[in-house]
Structure 1
Amino acid sequence: MSMRVTFLGTGGSVPTTERNPSSVLVNRDGDRLLFDVGEGTQRQMMRFGTGFTISDVFVSHLHGDHVLGLPGLLQTMDFNDREAALSLYVPAGAESDIEELVHAADTHPSFPVHVYGVCPGEAAIVRDEYEVRAVRTDHDANAVGYALVEDDRKGRFDRERAEELGVPVGPKFSRLHEGKPVELDDGTVVRPEQVVGDARPGRTLVYTGDTRPTETVEAAAEDADLLIHDATFADDWTDRATETAHSTARQAGELAARADAERLALTHISSRYGGDVSDHLAEAREAFDGEVFVPDDGETVDVPYPEA
């Protein structure tokens, strides 16, 4: 199962020529999930060739740089004759505000748009092999982050051992891998634990939106394969980060280290840094030994399974 992340917008509140406001598209084996939809997201989707066939939008909070792209995106979907329903997930209590935004500029999509409020700790969606949970964040707004958490996968099937035990090649292999014992022609019962290894963990991706460092994000990001964390400022503006309820790159690195995350993407970069993110990278890397990067708009990364 593939998981691919496209960073559509990696900038802070003020867009620059290099960085659009916040938006991240996750394509998990064909399920296309959009996290935040800052101004110009529809153009970024065209620019970077992602298309518009998304099923779910997860809004972290209602500050303009995270939602002002929604009316235009909906209108473009309408012009493209979309018929499938679109689900919008927002922090509980913000439903009516986002519904007003859906209809801003006299926009009335011809396809169904469903708005759902979610509280921290709740699952916004539950699919066959994964779910997306809301995570409590610490921002100066009604805000949540989101964690995409996959189910554990079956353990590896030891074909050689199964054949040694006399299991014939065929349907009995599948039954054992599904956790069911099988009986051989001589009456011997072979149990799954004899030929199937321990369950293997799925992947975890955490998107914080805007937030100060917080224990709830740290808990959600434990052993995460990819943590996408607010890093609006470098150390030179630590006081400003605290005042405006954002994080520094170093703080994001320290949190990733405590959570034992695999990779850390620093986003929501303030326009005051122009195109120079060297301090962000250096300071986060002093705190975190894993992979750290500041994605450019349009950058795409794959999230492999932990053992890959």
Structure 2
Amino acid sequence: MTLQVTFLGTSAAVPTTERNPSSVFVRREGDAFLFDAGEGTQRQMMRYGTGFDVSDVFVTHAHGDHVFGLPGLVHTLDFNDREDPLTIHVPRGVREQVADLVFAVGGDTGFPVRIREVAAGETVLDREAYEIRTFTTDHRTDSVGYALVEDDRKGRFDREHAEELGVPVGPKFSRLHDGQAVELEDGTVVEPEQVVGDPRPGRTIVYTGDTRPHDAVREAADGADLLIHDATFANDANERAAQTGHSTAGEAAKIAAEAGVRALALTHVSSRYAGDARELKRDAEKGFPGEVFVAHDGMEYDVTFPDTD
């Protein structure tokens, strides 16, 4: 089951020739989402072939490098004769600002655009097999992060043992796997726990947006498969990071290590590292033993299940 991240924009506030401002595209099977929409996001979607079938945009905060792409995106969707609604989720207190931005030039679109305020600690999207939740972040303005959390999956069905117990191949296998007991021809009752293992975890992606290290981020990222964390600066610029409400690569790594995540993506890269961002990766690797990489525009990352067997 597909769960893929495409990094559309990985720069901090000042874009470079190689990095667009912040935006992350996530596709889960037939569903598509954007997390932040920096200037030119719609062009990045064209360039990297993500498609435009996003149903929701999740904005972490209303600084320009995270929202200036919204007007262009909305009008591009309109020019493509979109009819389905688009919901833009924003932190509390900035709905009016974002609405003014989105509809700054012409407020009529051929499809509904809903701008919805959210607060930390909410489930903002609840789908059949997953949900998207908010959590507190620490920036210089009202801000939240987002976590896409899949439901647990069914345990593995032990077909061999089921046959040993006399369960005939067919519908009774499915009933057992769905948690229902079945009765055999001789009157024997087979319970699901006899042939179905423990539930298996789904996958989790956590996106912080701009933030200082924060306990709420650590809690939201507990055991996550992918943590996409602000890593604007290298470790030697820790004072600058604190002054501007951002994190260093080492601070992101510390959060990732304490949360026990499987992989750490460093993003929101300062333009001072435009020529070479390897220092960020080296700094993070000192504090995080798992997979770590500096995200770049156009990079695709497939989030696999924790157990791949």
Shared fold, TM over 0.5:
yes
* Separation of aligned partners in 1, 2:50 and 2:128: 24
Is 1:73 the equivalent of 2:76?
no
Worse-superposed segment, 270-279 or 143-152: 270-279
Q: How many residues align?
A: 308
Deviation string, structure 1 residues 130-149 (Cα, Å, up to 9, x no partner): 00001100000100000000
Which residue does the alignment assign to 1:186?
A: 186
Which residue does the alignment assign to 1:243?
A: 243
Indicate conservation of the 8 Å contact 1:38/1:64, yes or no.
yes
3-state SS, counterpart of residue 206 of structure 1: strand
Which residue does the alignment assign to 2:138?
A: 138
Counterparts of 1:123-162 in structure 2, within 5 Å, are 123-162=123-162
Tell me the CA shift for residue 97 of structure 1. Answer: 1.6
* Separation of aligned partners in 2, 1:104 and 1:62: 15
Cα RMSD for the two superposed structures: 0.7
Is 1:51 the equivalent of 2:14?
no
* Separation of aligned partners in 1, 2:237 and 2:110: 46
Tell me the CA shift for residue 108 of structure 1. Answer: 2.3
* Runs of 4 or more consecutive aligned structure 1 residues displaced over 3 Å after TM superposition: none
3-state SS, counterpart of residue 245 of structure 2: coil
* Separation of aligned partners in 2, 1:64 and 1:13: 8
Tell me the CA shift for residue 93 of structure 1. Answer: 2.0
* Separation of aligned partners in 1, 2:220 and 2:86: 26
Indicate conservation of the 8 Å contact 1:137/1:144, yes or no.
yes
Is 1:226 the equivalent of 2:221?
no
Which residue does the alignment assign to 2:199?
A: 199
- Counterpart amino acid of residue 111 in structure 2: F
* Separation of aligned partners in 2, 1:4 and 1:163: 37
Q: Name stretches of at least 5 consecutive residues in structure 1 with no aligned partner.
A: none
* Separation of aligned partners in 2, 1:161 and 1:92: 53
Which residue does the alignment assign to 1:41?
A: 41
Which residue does the alignment assign to 1:276?
A: 276
* Separation of aligned partners in 1, 2:53 and 2:231: 29
Indicate conservation of the 8 Å contact 1:18/1:275, yes or no.
no
Which residue does the alignment assign to 1:291?
A: 291
Tell me the CA shift for residue 118 of structure 1. Answer: 1.1
* Separation of aligned partners in 1, 2:85 and 2:106: 19
Tell me the CA shift for residue 106 of structure 1. Answer: 2.0
Tell me the CA shift for residue 272 of structure 1. Answer: 1.2
- Counterpart amino acid of residue 163 in structure 2: E
* Separation of aligned partners in 2, 1:141 and 1:59: 13
Which residue does the alignment assign to 1:267?
A: 267
Deviation string, structure 1 residues 83-134 (Cα, Å, up to 9, x no partner): 0011111112222222212211224221001111111110110000000001
Worse-superposed segment, 132-141 or 112-121: 112-121
Is 1:22 the equivalent of 2:37?
no
Which residue does the alignment assign to 2:62?
A: 62
Please report the TM-score for the alignment, with normalisation by the length of structure 2.
Answer: 0.98
Deviation string, structure 1 residues 161-186 (Cα, Å, up to 9, x no partner): 11111111111111100001001111
Q: Name stretches of at least 5 consecutive residues in structure 2 with no aligned partner.
A: none
Worse-superposed segment, 253-262 or 87-96: 87-96
* Separation of aligned partners in 1, 2:108 and 2:242: 39
* Separation of aligned partners in 2, 1:107 and 1:285: 47
- Counterpart amino acid of residue 124 in structure 2: A
* Separation of aligned partners in 2, 1:164 and 1:132: 42
Indicate conservation of the 8 Å contact 1:102/1:108, yes or no.
no
